[in-house]
Amino acid sequence: MSPRLVEPLAVEPLRVGVVCFSTFGGSGVIATEIAIDLARRGHAVHVFSDELPERMDPPPPALASQLVFHRVSPPAYPQLKQSPYTLALTSKIVEVSRRERLQIVHAHYALPHAVAAHLARQVLAAQGDAGAAPVPRIVTTLHGTDITLVGSDPSFLPLTRFSIAGSDAVTTPSDWLARATHEVLGVPGAVAIDVIPNFVDVARFTPAPGGAPPGSGSGVPVVAHVSNFRPLKRLDDVVEVFARVRAARPARLWLVGDGPERARIEAAIAARRLQADVEVLGERADLPAVLRGADVFLLPSEIESFGLAALEALSCGVPVVASAVGGLPEVIADGEVGFLRPVGDVAAMAAAVGRLLDDAALRRRLGAAGRRLAESRYALAPAVDRYVDLYRRVLA
Ligand code: GMT
């Protein structure tokens, strides 16, 4: 059965559901920043996740009537050995869509979010009758490992392809990920993908006030790394690069975030007797202040569709040293706002970090260029404008 069309959209405001992960990670950040900005613009926004996403915790009180969080909690039954999160999410989307007459469900990450949105739409279409809720359009934003890792797992591949090909619109944050979706995942060329680059709140992620250079001010330069501590972030390379940098000059390393690699990497730091120079800071709500205290940001990932953490550092005026991989070269022009080096080339990365730490003028020049880049190309409002235009297009 093909879903009924939504009601004609001359009507404002839009009624949008946003489905995302709550964990510390770029896709949840982008999803919640879009949700909050849409609510600020007067649209009715419903966010679906297992917990309040970090950037929405606490939800802005002034937006209470526009921005509603729906916690997805799978019911516990002994018959259901594995927690049925996808089914609970589907049911929640159905329930809220019916009640709030959602026009758009914007799924961030293909699995399980876009799949749940499709299933919810089928349920709504099958149960629809005259006067019932409209069947929402599905917009899917692919973020990275939903294509390059999880989604391309042979067992998930048909489901990933289905959820993408059946969406009313598909977006990626970089040209590279759009290409990978067609080439690696085998999504037909006829499935159009809109590239809407990620963005940063340049009013929150600012350089130090009064034009002071970034850095901790302690006299010992700081290298910062922010991630969700998964194997593809190559935390061993972070430690190795830092060890080489530290061998040549005093320096400190700040590790921000949390994830499966944390315990292992803490043990590696201890084994290398680097504890005195390394701080493992965990997840930080005051991320802009932390980034402002750093002199260089290091992101030696195996793969990165965009590298939102690097953009947030640039917005704070901190130059970046990163892998020349995936979508990172679209954000970081080598030699202009930082340096890109081959994946795993710890010697070259250590040389680039050392060069920046030893040359304050270079650091300031690249940091200022990074800030200008964030303001001119990656501001939040124009990006959300593009999503609103996309919603209107699929509703037209
Ligand atoms: O795909 C992931 O690993 C998850 C995702 C996240 O939730 O952190 O990260 C991806 O999405 C971010 C936001 O669009 C991008 O900035 C990251 O580069 C991307 N990660 C990868 O491609 C590994």
- Over the chain, what is the mean pLDDT? 93
CA of 65 relative to ligand 1 center, distance in Å: 30
Phi-psi region of 235 (alpha: psi -120 to 50; beta: other; left: phi over 0): alpha
Name the closest-CA residue to atom 11, ligand 1.
143
Distance CA 104, CA 391 (A): 7
With a cut of 70, say whether residue 8 has pLDDT above it. Answer: no
Of the candidates 289, 343, 347, 298, the one whose C-alpha atom is nearest the C-alpha of residue 316 is: 289
Q: How far apart are CA 221 and CA 252, in angstroms?
A: 6
* Between residues 209 and 202, the one the model is more confident about: 202
How many angstroms is it from 12 CA to the middle of ligand 1?
Answer: 32
Q: What is the pLDDT of residue 200?
A: 98
The full 3-state SS of the chain, as one line of letters, equals CCCCCCCCCCCCCCEEEEECCCCCCHHHHHHHHHHHHHHHCCCEEEEEECCCCHHHCCCCHHHCCCEEEEECCCCCCCCCCCCCHHHHHHHHHHHHHHHHCCCEEEEECHHHHHHHHHHHHHHHHHHCCCCCCCCCEEEEECCCHHHHCCCCCCCCHHHHHHHHHCCCEEEECCHHHHHHHHHCCCCCCCCCCEECCCCECCCCCCCCHHHCCCCCCCCCCEEEEEECCCHHHCHHHHHHHHHHHHHHCCCEEEEEECCCCHHHHHHHHHHCCCHHHEEEEECCCCHHHHHHCCCEEEECCCCCCCCHHHHHHHHCCCCEEEECCCCHHHHCCECCCEEEECCCCHHHHHHHHHHHHHCHHHHHHHHHHHHHHHHHHCEHHHHHHHHHHHHHHHHC
Condensed to tens digits (0 to 9), the pLDDT of residues 263-292 reads 999 999 999 999 999 999 999 989 999 999
* pLDDT greater than 50 at residue 7: no
pLDDT for 5 beyond 50: no
Q: Are 258 and 283 in contact (CB under 8 A)?
A: yes
Q: How far is the CA of 353 from the centre of ligand 1 (A)?
A: 24
How close is the Cα of 362 to the center of ligand 1, in Å?
29
CA–CA dist 118, 247 (Å, integer):
54
- pTM summary value: 0.93
**Ligand 1 mean position to 370 CA, how many Å?**
20
Q: What tokens were used for 145?
A: 């490992």
Atom of ligand 1 nearest to the CA of 25: 8
Residue 1 reports pLDDT greater than 80: no
For 138, what's the count of Cα atoms within 13 Å in the CB-facing half-sphere? 27
For residue 364, give every residue at least 6 positions away whose Cβ sits within 8 Å of its Cβ, in sequence order, or none: 213
Which class for 35: exposed (0-12), middle (13-18), buried (19 or more C-beta within 10 A)?
buried
For the cut 60, the answer to whether the pLDDT of residue 4 exceeds it is no
Classify the phi-psi angles of 352: left when phi > 0, otherwise alpha if psi is within -120 to 50, otherwise beta.
alpha
Q: What φ, ψ does residue 86 adopt, rounded to 5°?
A: -65, -40
Pocket test for ligand 1, best of 21, 145, 228 (most atoms within 8 A of CB): 145
- 43 CA to centre of ligand 1 in angstroms: 26
Q: What is the pLDDT of residue 83?
A: 87
* Distance in angstroms between the alpha carbons of the first and the last residue of the chain: 21
Between CA 288 and CA 275 the distance in angstroms is 24
CB 384 within 8 A of CB 378: no
Q: Quick: pLDDT tens for 306-350.
A: 999 999 999 999 999 999 999 999 999 999 999 999 999 999 999
**Whether the predicted pLDDT of 9 surpasses 90:** no
Atom of ligand 1 nearest to the CA of 308: 16
The pLDDT tens digits for 84-112 are 999 999 999 999 999 999 999 999 999 99
User: Which atom number of ligand 1 is nearest to the Cα of residue 27?
Assistant: 7
Residues with CB under 6 A from ligand 1: 21, 25-28, 30, 143-146, 173, 198, 228, 232, 303-308
From the CA of 29, how far away is ligand 1's center (Å)? 10
Q: What percent of the chain has pLDDT over 70?
A: 94
Nearest atom, ligand 1, residue 326 CA: 22
**Bridging pattern class, strands 278-282 and 194-195:** unpaired
Distance CA 375, CA 378 (A): 6
Closest ligand 1 atom, CA of 302? 23
pLDDT tens-place string over residues 144-192: 999 888 888 889 999 999 999 999 999 999 999 999 999 989 999 999 9
Nearest C-alpha to atom 12 of ligand 1 is from which residue? 26
CA of 313 to the centre of ligand 1 (A): 16
Task: Report the atom number in ligand 1 closest to the C-alpha of 198.
Answer: 14
Taking the centre of ligand 1 as the mean of its atom positions, its distance from the CA of residue 325, in whole angstroms, is 13
* Nearest C-alpha neighbor of 135 from the set 177, 187, 93: 93
